Amino acid sequence: MSRDSRRTLFLVASVGFAALFLWGLAGLPDFGGYDGVYGETLNRVALRQRHATNLVAAVTFDYRGFDTMGEEYILFAAVVGVAILMRAQRDEEEDTPDDDARDRLTPRTSDAVRVLGLGVFGPIVLFGIYVVAHGHLTPGGGFQGGVVLATGVVLVYLAGRYSALRGITPGASAELAEAAGAAGYVGVGLLGLMASGTFLYNWLPFGTTGLLTSAGMIPFINLFVGLEVAGGFVLILTEFLEQTLVVREVDSGGPEGKRERDRS
Amino acid sequence: MDSLTPLPLAVSLLGAAGLTALRGVLGRRVFELAAVAVSAAVALLLAALLAASIEAPIVYWFGDWTPVDGVALGISFVIEPLGAALATLAAVLVTASFVFTWRFFDNAEHLFHVLMLVFLAGMVGFALTGDLFTLFVFFELMSVSAFSLAGYKTEEEGSLQGALNFAVTNSIGAFLILAGIGLLYGRTGALNLAQLGEALAGAPPDGLVITSFVFLVTGYLVKAAAVPFHFWLADAYATAPTSVCVLFAGVLSELGLYAVARVYWTVFDGAFAGHLPALRAIVIGLGTLTALVGAAMCFPQRHIKRLLAFATVSHVGLLLIGVGIFTPTALAGTLIYIVTDGLVKASLFFCTGILLHRLASVDELGCDGLGAVMPLTRVLFVLGGLGLAGLFPFGTYLGKSLIEDEAAVLGYPWVTWVFIAASVVTAGAVLRVAARVFWGVGPGDAYDIKSEAEGDEVQPEGSRGGSGSTPASMWAMAALLIAAAFVSGLIPQLAGRVEVAAEHFVDRRAYADLVLAGVPPPEVGLPPAESSFKGALIGLASAVAAGMIAAAGLWHMRLPRTITRGATALLGPPFARLRALHSGHVGDYVAWLTVGVAVLGGLMAVMMG
Amino acid sequence: MSFAPFAVAAWLFVIGLYGIVTSRHLIHLVICLSVVQSSTYVLLLAIGYRTGAAAPIFVDTKPGAPAVDPVVQALTLTDVVVGATVSALLLALAVQVHKASGTFDPDELDTLRG
């Protein structure tokens, strides 16, 4: 279809689509008037049942923990997918990273940026671990904390060089972290199965509300999710960076060839 | 037995993660063996669960969160025969694919197996769950693994585009599902299927219920590839690796239809029961359109995988008709057809994989006569064509006859003709391919209707293309699957047994009582065995007609001038328009998706609002 | 005023679809897809909102005080992270398409006709 006929077709259809959507939305209770039975019940009982002050975490990792396991594996599948799609092809080879190459195009990062990056890296990692660990108490948890941890790693590249990034995540460590996190979640579920007969049963003692060691299994699940998310995002990052900075086509002969392709 | 429930899923997920962690350490052969072992274990566990569920359905609450006063706090798996059968089929096909690709990927491509196991887990969770949001999560899990698997052959341009089209359209389908879930949650405050059904029952459907139904069904139909959401399927199938196509054609699309049936019968039946005739008309119409468009696009293809892809679309249309009749007998017929047809299509894809491996091409004209060196594959391919037509004793004839009879009873006698037409054309295309490739029949160059997608740029999938003989791991899998389909029609009282399961499937109130209160469902007696002689006869006639269509396709140059000229004048322009619509452009696909949602919504609003 | 969040959700969905249909660049297309995804987040969160209620975090808030729905928040937060990785997957596909065919423009990709 030509561009115009495609657009016209869509615009006509979108009127019908929007009308349908708005008709459906009109049947919802007023904004701000939520009174659904699921949320109400959980707001009443979750604190007492699980000693977790962050009810969102209780829902994510306990009541609906099975869905979260599925979501975690979607992340896993997406990351493995990126690794598969970016894998080395027959006519490619690896070269020195662009930012290490002698004929690099962009200027080196300034010393100020590097010092700042070095200074901030530690606190960010610490903050990430804090967010992961306190997921059942305050807003946060494995997903958010894992992303913060991955950000720390990104910072090493942004403030420094690609080889520094590879230095702190050697070999398959990111992949290992990711796989360990994914397997860990299922492992926790199986432990629940063995301990009390149902998969993902929260069998650890619930402890005192408000302490780090409360809410049973939830902190451990948070840990595994944080590990997986951090590993996953670092893996995605290194794959993309490798693709841009390191991989070259064999017949185009090194950085010149890459610049040729970038210009076209 | 109940405690086995989470194991298939846990085993495949743990297997995937474990294999990822160990892939640097294990040798290639050990790795592949481990993958086969994991998927075989999953298949066995599911078979055990299937057997148990035939006795009595299993309800399993994760984390031991049993419902309180009809409010479900946790997530449940509800294992009943129809879903368990689909899950078992998925596991069997994954195992067969692993054996098929034994020592195929030679440069340490272990991540393929990992992703297939995650894909398997997605399908298993999808087929067994009793929670609407879990259905969405596993829909996404299946989809995301499938995107990368479809784009696996990264050095082929078409493969990447096909994967991109697949990814974009299916993601939009997923977002539509999520929107539908949001709407239902806003109204009922529930995510559990049984609880939703209870909450919606009794009240007539209003804008919100209709819109959420349209969104949910559209999302699932995008996965199932019903018209006009089907464009991505041919693109993705044509370029995905063979073992991946086997899963897509064998069970992935069918799971979309399963979801439509599941969601309707547990959630919406209470609300829509009064409007069933209107809904029936809409869905049967959609199914008919899909069946005919699929068949029309299937026949002119020369790219064998694309041909099979459109045959899949056409059969999805037939299955949609089966679901859209909304009776237990039709549902039983649909399940029998899904499983048997899935086995046949999987076997055909395996044969195509053998062609690719030996001849490095899936172009019908390019392979003209070259298949003569593969006598076993030749037989299997022809059997596949006959299975598609519905020849006795392939179970396909049984499934189709159940659906056709129900349709006739409800006032849709022409459905039988749609079934015949779609089966004849798709089977005829397959037989034509068999004749040309394996026997060299037919003129090599006179091919009026040209399809731009040729099968020659397809890259071989392993390092040992063009070798002297077909590895046993390959033809054994193809033979096994077609044999299973062949004997399925001979299982005594198959129709009756599946009908019992279907009766439970459609009983919304019993389902809700079972899930929310633990009340076991009422006994349903085995219906008397009915003769399916008429069905067998139709199957035979279809097979013969398919052969004639194949012959016409091969020797159409020899037909009298008047006929060919008349046919070209009459059918040429609409066919050309239809083929032009399949442009490979993702923007087109999304535009048609929007059109489909708007039309479906409009029809439902008019007939029920 | 009270219908505005839902209208925003519908608008985002439609405008995202429009972006995809008329896109001239694959990366733009992937971003539009995430716009469509964000419309579902807005919808979910708007459904769970309760006027005058606090977040369901009972550290400073007394237990028993009105709180918004924790379920939709749980659904959304996992979806956000997963959505980011799925976008990464699509971008990887886009990068590889560019490598194979030299273009990012969907109009120029034509190996899949018919």
Q: What is the DSSP string of B122-174?
A: HHHHHHHB-BHHHHHHHHHHHHHHHHHHHT--TT-HHHHHHHHHHHHHHHHHH
Q: For residue A93, what are the β-bridge partners?
A: A248
Give the tokens for residue B545.
Answer: 């007609």
Check which CATH number belongs to the domain holding C41 and give it: 1.10.287.3510
Report the alpha-carbon distance of residue A87 to residue B323 in Å, rounded. 42
**Predicted confidence band of residue B300 (pLDDT cuts 50, 70, 90):** confident
Report the alpha-carbon distance of residue B209 to residue B538 in Å, rounded. 40
Amino acid identity for residue B468 in this structure = G
Q: Give yes or no for residue A253 having a pLDDT over 50.
A: no
Query: Do A121 and A167 meet the contact criterion of CB atoms below 8 Å apart?
Result: no
Q: Please tell me whether residue B214 adopts helix, strand or coil conformation.
A: helix
Query: Do B80 and B501 meet the contact criterion of CB atoms below 8 Å apart?
Result: yes
Which pLDDT score, from 0 to 100, does residue A258 have?
Answer: 45
In a domain, A262, yes or no: no
Q: With an 8 Å Cβ cutoff, is B68 touching chain A? A: yes
Residue C12 domain boundaries: 4-108
Residue B607 Cα, gap to closest chain A Cα (Å) = 14
Count how many Cα atoms sit within 13 Å of the Cα of residue A54 in the half-sphere of its side chain.
26
Peptide bond into A205 cis (omega under 30): no
Query: Do B169 and B593 meet the contact criterion of CB atoms below 8 Å apart?
Result: yes
In a domain, A12, yes or no: yes
Q: Which chains touch C (3 or more CB pairs under 8 A)?
A: A, B
**Residue B289 CA: distances (Å) to CA of A161, B199, B222:** 57, 34, 15
Residues above pLDDT 90, as percent of chain B: 39
Q: B250 exposed, middle or buried (CB, 10 Å; 0-12, 13-18, 19+)?
A: buried
Report the alpha-carbon distance of residue B591 to residue B169 in Å, rounded. 10
Q: Give yes or no for residue A255 having a pLDDT over 60.
A: no
Q: How many domains does chain A have?
A: 1
Q: With an 8 Å Cβ cutoff, is B238 touching chain C? A: yes
Inter-chain touch C17–A54, beta carbons under 8 Å = no
Report the alpha-carbon distance of residue C112 to residue C114 in Å, rounded. 7
The count of other CB atoms within 10 Å of the CB of residue B574 is 10
Q: Give yes or no for residue B180 having a pLDDT over 90.
A: yes
Question: Lowest-pLDDT range, B24-33, B278-287, B375-384?
Answer: B24-33
Q: How many domains does chain C have?
A: 1
What's the ipTM?
Answer: 0.95
Q: Kind and range of the H or E element at B252?
A: none
In a domain, C67, yes or no: yes
Inter-chain touch C85–A79, beta carbons under 8 Å = yes
Q: Give yes or no for residue A104 having a pLDDT over 70.
A: no
Question: Lowest-pLDDT range, B345-359, B424-438, B567-581?
Answer: B567-581
Inter-chain touch A236–C2, beta carbons under 8 Å = no
CB within 8 Å of chain C, chain B residues 421-460: 451-453, 457
Q: With an 8 Å Cβ cutoff, is B459 touching chain A? A: no
Q: Please report residues of A whose CB lies closer than 8 A to that of B602.
A: 16, 20
Inter-chain touch B453–C75, beta carbons under 8 Å = no
**Predicted confidence band of residue B450 (pLDDT cuts 50, 70, 90):** very low
Give the tokens for residue B586.
Answer: 């993702």
In a domain, C113, yes or no: no
Residue A141 domain boundaries: 3-257
Q: Which of A125, A148, A147, A145 is nearest to A137 (CA)?
A: A145
**Residue C94 CA: distances (Å) to CA of B164, B366, B595, C98, C106:** 8, 31, 26, 6, 10
Q: Give yes or no for residue B464 having a pLDDT over 50.
A: no
Inter-chain touch B118–A20, beta carbons under 8 Å = no
Which pLDDT score, from 0 to 100, does residue A256 have?
Answer: 44
Query: Do B349 and B246 meet the contact criterion of CB atoms below 8 Å apart?
Result: yes
CB within 8 Å of chain C, chain A residues 144-163: 144, 146-147
- Helix (H) and strand (E) counts for chain B? 24, 2
Nearest CB partner across the interface for B587, out of C21, C96, C114: C21
What DSSP assignment string belongs to B498-564? HHHHHHHHT-HHHHHHHHHH-PPPPP-PPPPP---HHHHHHHHHHHHHHHHHHHHHHHGGGS-HHHH
Interval C78-105 mean pLDDT: 88
Report the alpha-carbon distance of residue B495 to residue C68 in Å, rounded. 50
Inter-chain touch B212–A196, beta carbons under 8 Å = no
In a domain, C89, yes or no: yes
Q: Which of B486, B384, B371, B347 is nearest to B435 (CA)?
A: B371
Residue A168 Cα, gap to closest chain C Cα (Å) = 22
